[in-house]
Chains A and B, each alone.
Chain A
Amino acid sequence: MSGHNFLEFSYLVAAALFILSLRWLNHPRTARRGVAAGVAGMTAAIIGTLMAPEIVAYRWIEVAFVVGFVVGVPLSWVPLTAVPQRTALSHAFGGLAAGLVGIAKYSHWFDTHELTTFTTSAISLEVILGFLTFTGSLMAAGKLQEIIPTRPITYRNQNLVNLLLLALAVVSAIYLSINPNFWPAFVALIVLSLGFGVLLIIPIGGADMPTVISLLNSYAGLSAVAMGFVLQNKLLITAGALDGSSGFILSVIMCRAMNRSFTNVLFGAFGQVQAVQQAAEEKTVKSATPQDVADLLTNADTVVIIPGYGMAVAQAQHRVHELYDQLTKRGVDVKFAIHPVAGRMPGHMNVLLAEAEIPYESLVEMDDINPEMPQTDVALVVGANDVVNPAARHDTHSPIYGMPIIDADKAHTVIAIKRSMNPGFAGIDNELYYSDRTLMAFGDAKQVLGDVVKAVAGEGVGAGAH
């Protein structure tokens, strides 16, 4: 009996520590304490569980623990550009665990004739959520790793097929709750959920990945909640609900940042309906050499750098940091404007810049930087495109119309570093580049920034103080 009291107590401690852990994440200064609290809570819960009297054999648990460490430790070493894939993969593992526990419980209670309407409904929910998260997240990870084409894969009546699959799964679940011992319906449920996860994600394009990851995060949390209902375990319900609400909040933020709805992300197949490029009018751009860029930057009082995922693709973060150092040393006020969907998952850009040793005080959210843009001397766009496209404000025909953007065009001068004039990821032409305030520096971001840094540093010796 004391084993159970101890178990209850360890669960209580764990739940409290998990909540504290998330609370401490409200500021970078306390955030690492949050991780420590999470680890402590997890350890308490695992030790409590291992001491539970139901456990009669430890061999397989030990094997599984070893496997978890052997796979988990290297997974935490991935480069930060690959963090979204790792995250998707861990959603997949979470979903898989929930789904497998659901099957195990069904098989157990099937044998002992303990299946009731309630337990079977809870198991069905757990299995649906778990397996759709499993295959859906695997697909998302594949797209992020570019094993699977990132462009949306679509076919005729796609949404109809998806809805039909989901409806079939729900019907099997309902049938099963009435006839809990009719196992073929359970098997059908598993297959349908696995299939639905795949089909749900393949039509979604790379640009929507931040939303999709958040949504799958939410599902993974909810599948843990369903598992908690099946096992009558309050700690599981609590932790799953924390995860689920976190994923939900992040999805809402991501959707808002792109001015899209959930249904639109899931059933819209972004990038599919690109307007035909209007017959190219004679538009001219002004180009600039690295030396021009360096002059403009050193003569500015305030500079806002707007990074996009293209910066990470070009591996230019460290050049950006050098530029930041050089300019700050000369008394230029340098800030970074971070769009919520910059990168491949929520907050991704902040992590990439933090890795490049840029202090987090200089990373400013879109809503906070926009009022400052009209007073900014130079806006430097590095690898960003759609998030600075003014068409989002006024062109009702643009696919990105209504999306909140960083007001780069309001700065006195705009410098955009770009490989060529080809339209970006979403295939949308960006009128910012044709503005007479804008200078284009063509070339690989890493290369161009390297030259700019050299020019800035050289100027310090030659021209003297500005």
Chain B
Amino acid sequence: MFFVFMLATFVGFQVIQNVSRLLHTPLMSLTNAISAIAVVGSILIAGEQFSGFTTILGTVAVAASMTNIVSGFLITDRMLRMFREKERRPKAEGGNAGTAR
């Protein structure tokens, strides 16, 4: 287990050092959403129904994590959509579903 932690921290340092400084705010909201993976632990506690007490705690924890997942991913995407390159029509933003790359 500790091995996994060391490895993940190492990978984290490598990957995050390469993140563009432009994107540090989206980075924080994205890692927020990702660490809300705590939801899986909370689901197990809310769903195994050990006792009323643990079920309540688990349920609140699922709600808190789910809030982070939903708002974290949505706001990250919202911010990233705003970063545009030069030489674009000033009012481009019609149907952006199709060929967005």
What is A's interface to B at a CB cutoff of 8 Å?
Answer: 14, 18-19, 21-23, 25-29, 31-32, 34-35, 38-39, 41-42, 45-46, 48-50, 52, 54-58, 60-61, 63-65, 67-69, 71-73, 75-76, 78, 80, 83, 86-87, 90-91, 93-94, 96-98, 100-101, 103-105, 107-108, 111, 213-214, 217, 220-221, 224-225, 227-229, 231-247, 249-250, 253, 325, 340, 345-348, 350-351, 354-355, 357, 359-363, 365
Q: Do residues A67 and B67 form an inter-chain contact, with CB atoms below 8 A?
A: yes
Docked complex: B25-47 residues within 8 A CB-CB of A:
25-47
- Distance of A96 Cα from B15 Cα, bound (Å): 27
Given the interface contacts A97-B65, A103-B57, A360-B22, does A60 sit within 8 Å of B34 by beta carbon? no
Q: Do residues A73 and B71 form an inter-chain contact, with CB atoms below 8 A?
A: yes
Q: Do residues A351 and B86 form an inter-chain contact, with CB atoms below 8 A?
A: no
B97 within 8 A of A: no
Q: How many of B's residues come within 8 Å of A, CB to CB?
A: 82
* Closest A residue by C-beta to B86: A359
- Distance of A46 Cα from B51 Cα, bound (Å): 22
* Closest B residue by C-beta to A99: B61
Secondary structure of the A contact surface, majority rule: helix
* Closest A residue by C-beta to B93: A357
Per CB-CB distance, the 6 closest pairs between chain A and chain B, nearest first, are A68-B66, A347-B24, A72-B70, A245-B12, A55-B47, A243-B35
What is B's interface to A at a CB cutoff of 8 Å?
Answer: 1, 4-5, 8-9, 11-13, 15-51, 53-55, 57-86, 88, 90, 100-101
- A355: chain B residues within 8 A (beta carbon): 82
Q: Tally of A-B residue pairs with Cβ under 8 A?
A: 363
CB distance from A217 to the nearest CB of B (A): 6
CB distance from A99 to the nearest CB of B (A): 9
Taking a contact as CB atoms closer than 8 A, the residue among B37, B66, B101 that contacts A236 in the complex is B37
Question: Contacts A28-B80, A65-B63, A350-B22 given; 11 further ones with Cβ under 8 A?
Answer: A22-B19, A32-B77, A56-B49, A57-B47, A61-B59, A94-B68, A96-B60, A240-B8, A245-B9, A347-B24, A362-B86
Given the interface contacts A60-B55, A354-B82, does A26 sit within 8 Å of B63 by beta carbon? no
Secondary structure of the B contact surface, majority rule: helix
Q: Do residues B21 and A25 form an inter-chain contact, with CB atoms below 8 A?
A: no
Taking a contact as CB atoms closer than 8 A, the residue among B13, B71, B86 that contacts A76 in the complex is B71
- B57: chain A residues within 8 A (beta carbon): 100-101, 103-104, 107
Given the interface contacts A22-B30, A39-B73, A250-B28, does A94 sit within 8 Å of B80 by beta carbon? no
- A28: chain B residues within 8 A (beta carbon): 20, 22-23, 80, 83, 85
- B73: chain A residues within 8 A (beta carbon): 35, 38-39, 42
CB distance from B27 to the nearest CB of A (A): 6
- B9: chain A residues within 8 A (beta carbon): 241, 244-245
- Distance of A232 Cα from B101 Cα, bound (Å): 38
- B31: chain A residues within 8 A (beta carbon): 22, 217, 221, 242-243, 246-247
Q: Do residues A23 and B4 form an inter-chain contact, with CB atoms below 8 A?
A: no
- B36: chain A residues within 8 A (beta carbon): 42, 90, 93-94, 97
Q: Do residues B23 and A31 form an inter-chain contact, with CB atoms below 8 A?
A: yes
Q: Do residues B21 and A237 form an inter-chain contact, with CB atoms below 8 A?
A: no
